[in-house]
Amino acid sequence: MKQLLLTLALLVTPLGLSQPAVSAETNPRGVVELFTSQGCSSCPPADEILAEYAKDGDTLALSWHVDYWNYLGWADTFSSAAATKRQQNYAHSFARRGVYTPQAVVNGRTHTVGSRKGAIEDLLKGGVAPLSARIEVKHSADSVAIACSRTAAGEDATLSIVYFIDSTKVAIERGENEDRTITYRNVVRAMDMVGMVKDGAMETILPLDSLRARAREVGASHAALLLQVPTEAGLAGPIIGAARLGAL
Look at residue 122 and tell me whether its pLDDT is greater than 90.
Answer: yes
Look at residue 20 and tell me whether its pLDDT is greater than 90.
Answer: no
Given CA atoms 224, 169, 110, 125 in this order, what sign does their dihedral have? positive
**3-class DSSP assignment, residue 47:** helix
Look at residue 6 and tell me whether its pLDDT is greater than 80.
Answer: no
Count Cβ atoms within 10 A of the Cβ of residue 161 and give its class: 0-12 exposed, 13-18 middle, 19 or more buried: buried
pLDDT of residue 153: 60
Mean pLDDT calculated for residue range 134-150: 91
Q: Which of 149-153, 160-164, 239-243 has the lowest mean pLDDT?
A: 149-153
pLDDT of residue 9: 38
pLDDT of residue 19: 36
Q: Which of 6-15, 25-34, 62-71 has the lowest mean pLDDT?
A: 6-15
pLDDT of residue 10: 40
> What is this structure's pTM?
0.89
Given CA atoms 66, 71, 77, 80 in this order, what sign does their dihedral have? positive
pLDDT of residue 232: 81
For residue 86, which of 35, 143, 10, 129 has the smallest C-alpha distance? 35
pLDDT of residue 151: 62
Mean pLDDT calculated for residue range 12-38: 64
State how far the alpha carbon of 13 is from the alpha carbons of 17, 145, 147, 230, 244, in Å. 7, 9, 11, 24, 20
pLDDT of residue 200: 72
For residue 6, which of 246, 215, 214 has the smallest C-alpha distance? 214
d(CA 28, CA 244): 8
User: Please, what is the angle between helix 208-218 and helix 2-9, to 10°?
Assistant: 160
pLDDT of residue 57: 85
Question: Could you report the per-residue pLDDT of 176-203, keeping only the tens digit for each?
Answer: 999 999 999 999 999 999 998 887 788 9
- 226: containing domain: 2-247
Question: Could you report the per-residue pLDDT of 162-171, keeping only the tens digit for each?
Answer: 999 999 999 9
| Residue 135 contacts residue 27 (beta carbons within 8 Å) | yes
Count of domains in the chain?
1
Mean pLDDT calculated for residue range 4-8: 38
Categorize the per-residue pLDDT at 66 as very low, low, confident or very high, splitting at 50, 70 and 90. Answer: very high
% of the chain residues with pLDDT over 90: 76
Categorize the per-residue pLDDT at 3 as very low, low, confident or very high, splitting at 50, 70 and 90. Answer: very low
